[in-house]
Chain A
C-alpha cells in the first residue's frame, strides 16, 4: 500500500515517507521535470500551476506559481543544492504569501522497494515555530479551501 507517513523529528524537522508503484527513476523524474510536476503538484481541486521553473542542477532555480483561475494565487521559490540522479535531491524552498516564509531545507531520497520506490522527504525548518507555520500554510495550499470559493457562495 502507498501509505503516507508524516512525523516530526526533534524541534525542527518534518519527515514524510510515501511508497510509489514505479521505479526510482520515474519518481525522481516526476519531481524534477516541470511538465510532470505541473500534472500533480497542484494542491486544492481546481487549482493549476501555470508557471513551473525547475532547473534540476546544483544552484538551479525553482519557481512554482499556483492559480485558482479566478485571480487568487501564490508562489514558491527555491534553489537546488545537490542532485544525485534517481537517488537523492537536496533543495531549499520558501513560500511567498506574498512575504517569503523562512527557508525550508529539504532532502528527498528515492530508494528501490520491491517493484516500487520508497520516497523519504526530510524537511528542516529554522525553529519549532516556523515548522508549525509551515505545516499550517502547507495545509492551506493542499486543501480544497479557498476564500474565492466562499465568495461565490455568499
Chain B
C-alpha cells in the first residue's frame, strides 16, 4: 500500500473525521459551520481538519480570515470508498432487523 493511501485510511479510521467528511460531501463549510451544530470547540475541529488535509482528503482555501474546507476531488478516490462505508452503515441496521425478525418468529411459535 502506498503512503498516501495509508494516510487516507488512517484518517478515515476516526469516527469524527468520517462525520466531518460526510458533512463536506454536501458542500463546502467553514470551521465555524462544522463546529456550530455540535457545540464542539473550534480547536478540536481544526485538529481533525489538519489530519484530513495532510491525508489529501480535503482542501482548504483562504477567504479573508476564513479557511473554508471542501472534499478534495481525488481524496476519496470516488464512489467505491463511499460504497464501502455506506455498506457498513446498512449492515448495522439489517443485523438489528435480523434480531427483531427472530424475536417475532419466536413469539409466534410460542403462541401456537
Residues of B within 8 A of A (CB): 15-16, 18-19, 21-23, 25-26, 37-41, 44, 78-79, 82-83, 85-94, 96-102, 104-105
Contact = CB atoms under 8 A, between A and B. Distances in A.
B90 A142 contact: yes
Question: Chain B binding site: helix, strand, loop or mixed by DSSP?
Answer: helix
Interface residues of A, number: 48
Contact of B19 (A27, A36, A99, A146): A146
Given A40-B97, A72-B38, A139-B82, A16 B104 contact: no
Contacts of B92: 43-45, 142-143
Q: Is the interface of A mostly helix, strand, loop or mixed?
A: mixed
Interface stretch (A85-93, A103-111, A128-136): A128-136
A97 to B, nearest CB: 6
A108 B88 CA distance: 19
Interface string A1-34: 0101011100000101010111000110010000
Given A20-B101, A142-B92, 16 more contacts: A22-B105, A26-B101, A26-B104, A27-B97, A27-B101, A40-B93, A42-B96, A132-B82, A136-B21, A139-B18, A139-B82, A139-B88, A140-B22, A142-B89, A149-B15, A150-B15
